[in-house]
Chains A and B, each alone.
Chain A
Amino acid sequence: METKIQLTKTKERIYNLSLAMSLILLFIISTTLLNLDMNHFWSRLYNFPEVIKLFWDLNFDSFGPGIEQLAISVMLGICGLVIGGPVAFVLAFLAADNLAFSTTLSFIIKSGVSLIRAVPNLVLMLIIVACLGMGYTAAVVSLTLSSVGFLTKTFISTIEEQDKSIADTLSATGANWLQVVVHGFLPNVIPSFLVWITIRMESSVAESISLGVIGVGGIGMLLTRAIRQYDYATVSMLIIIIFTGMLILELSLNYIKKRIKS
C-alpha cells in the first residue's frame, strides 16, 4: 500500500501560498499601472527580422576609430580609478567605526559617500558637464566621484569586518593611531582592497562607455553618433567591439583576482 508523506506542514504551505499570491498580485498591479504600450511594440517586433538583416553587415572602416575610442574609454576609466582609489583609501580609514578618532568626521564622510552613490552617475555627469563643459576632464571628475563612492563604501565594510581587538592590543602597547593603522590593519586589509579595486575597474570602464553616450568622448559617443545617422553597419561593429573589449577586460581581471587571492 502506498503512503504519502507530506513534506511541508500545512501551516507553512498556506503561508507560502499566500506569499506567492501577494507577490503575483503586486506584479499584476504594477504592470497594469505602468500602461505599457503593447500594440506599438508588437508592430515593431514584427519588423524585427528585417532589422536584424540590416545589422548583419559590419562596417570595417569604423574598426580603427572604434578601437581608438574604446581605448579612450578604458583610459578614462583608469584615470577615474587612479585618482579615486587613493582618495577612497584615506576616507575609508578616517570613517571606519573601529578606527575613527572622530565620530562626526566618520558620519560626514559616510553620509557624503551615500549621497554620491544615491545620485545615478549619469545625473552626476550631467551636473558636472553643466559646470565644467564637455570634455575629458569632466568625464574624469565624474568617474573619480563614482569610484570614490563605491570604493569608500566597500573599503569601510572591509575595515569594519576586522577584529577591533587588533586596534586595542596595539594601542595598549603604546602605538599611536597611524601605527595602529599601518601595522595592525593594513596587512590584513590590503588583499581585499586590491580585489575591490579590480572589481571597480570593470564598473569604471562600463560607466565610462555609458557616459560617452552623452557626448564626452569614447566609444559611447561614437555609438550614439552612428545611431543618429541610422548607420546600422557601424552600430553592429561598435557593439561587437564593446562586447569583446569588456569580455577581455573581465577575463583579465578574473585572472588578476585569482593571482591576488593566492
Chain B
Amino acid sequence: MDSKGVPINQGKKLKLSLTIIFMCVVASLPFFYLDVNIVEVMTSLPKLIRFFIHNFLPPNFSNLRAYMEPVIETLLFAIVGTYISAVLSFILGILMSQLSPNLVIRVFIQSFVTFLRNIPVLIWASLLVFVFGIGNIVGLIALSLATVGILSRMYAESIDEIASSKLEALTASGASYLQIILHGLLPEFIPAWINWTLFSFEINIRASAILGTVGAGGLGILIQTNLNLRNFHEATTLIIILVVMVLMTEMAISNIRSRIYH
C-alpha cells in the first residue's frame, strides 16, 4: 500500500505552466510575424530623443496669437461633448440597467451601446466624416458617440449597485417608477455621476485634440499639417500648447474632485 500520498497540487501546477508557456508563445509570435526586432524598438528611444532635440527644439512661438482660437475650440468641443454624452448616457444607462422598464428595451440598448463602445473614436470620426462631410458638428457627434459608449456602461453598473441595495424600500412603500428614479436613484447616483463625468471630460479633451486629424476640427489638424510639412518647430509649439491644456485640465479636475470628496 502506498503510504506516501499523492500531492494535491499536481493539476494546478501543470495548468499554470501551460498557461505561462501559452502566454510566452502569444507574446513572441507577433514579433516574428511582423518582423519587428525588439532590440530595434529599444534603441529607437534614444534615436527618437536625439531627433526630437535636434529638430523640434526650440519651439517657434511667433504664431501663438493665431493658435488661441483652435485651443478654445478644442476646449469647447470637449465641454459640449461631455454635456451631451452625460445626458444621453444617463438615459441609456437607466435603460440598460436593472431599472429598465422592459427586458426587450434593455437588451436592445445594451447591444447598441456595445456597438458604440467597441469602435474606436477615430474610426467613428472617419466614418462620420465620410458620411456627413468635414465639419464641427461631425466631430462633436463622433466625440459624443464614443463617450456615450463608455459612460452608459459605467453609469449602468453604478445604477445596478444602487438598485440592488437601496431601492427595495421605496418600491415596497408604493412609489411609482418616476418617483423611484427621481427621489431614490438620483441622490445616490450623483457622486458616481460626477466622478464619471469628470473622467469623460478628461478623455474628451484628448479626443477633441485628435479629431482634427480626420478633418473634424481642432488642434489636431494643425499639428498634423505642420508635421507633414516638416515645420517641426511650429509643431512643437502646438504640442506644448496641447500638453499644457491637458495638464491644466487634469489639475483642475483633481482640484474639483478633492473639493467634492473633501
User: Which residues on A are within 8 Å of B, measured CB to CB?
Assistant: 7, 26-27, 30-31, 33-38, 40-41, 44-45, 48, 51, 72, 74-76, 78-79, 82-83, 114-115, 118-120, 122-123, 126-128, 130-132, 136-137, 140-141, 144, 206-207, 209-210, 213-214, 220, 223-224, 227, 235, 239, 242-243, 246-247, 250
Contact = CB atoms under 8 A, between A and B. Distances in A.
Interface string B122-165: 11001100111101111010000000000000000000000000
Contacts of B34: 72, 75-76, 79, 136, 140
Contact of B246 (A76, A118, A214): A118
Contact of B136 (A35, A120, A247): A35
Contact of A214 (B37, B120, B137, B213): B213
B5 interface: no
A51 B227 CA distance: 34
Contacts, number: 169
B169 to A, nearest CB: 15
The list of the 5 closest CB pairs from A to B, nearest first, reads: A75-B30, A246-B118, A210-B122, A131-B51, A118-B246
14 contacts: A26-B79, A30-B83, A34-B140, A41-B135, A51-B131, A79-B36, A120-B209, A126-B223, A130-B230, A136-B35, A136-B36, A210-B121, A213-B123, A243-B119
A35 B72 CA distance: 12
B181 interface: no
Contacts of B260: none
Given A83-B41, A130-B232, A247-B114, 16 more contacts: A27-B80, A30-B83, A35-B136, A36-B136, A37-B136, A41-B135, A48-B131, A76-B34, A79-B34, A120-B246, A127-B52, A141-B44, A220-B122, A227-B126, A227-B127, A246-B120
A182 B209 CA distance: 41
Contact of B123 (A118, A136, A223): A223
Given A82-B27, A144-B41, A246-B119, A123 B242 contact: yes
A132 B49 CA distance: 11
Contacts of A246: 118-120
A118 to B, nearest CB: 4
Interface of B: 26-31, 33-38, 40-42, 44-45, 47-48, 51-52, 55-56, 72-73, 76-77, 79-80, 83, 114-115, 118-123, 126-127, 130-133, 135-138, 140, 183, 206-207, 209-210, 213-214, 220, 223-224, 227, 230, 232, 235, 239, 242-243, 246-247, 250
A123 B209 contact: yes
B31 A79 contact: yes
Nearest to B208: A120
Contacts of B220: 120, 122-123
B30 A78 contact: yes
A38 B137 contact: yes
B127 A119 contact: no
A227 B83 contact: no
Nearest to B236: A127
Contacts of B247: 114, 118
B73 A120 contact: no
B242 A120 contact: yes
A131 to B, nearest CB: 4
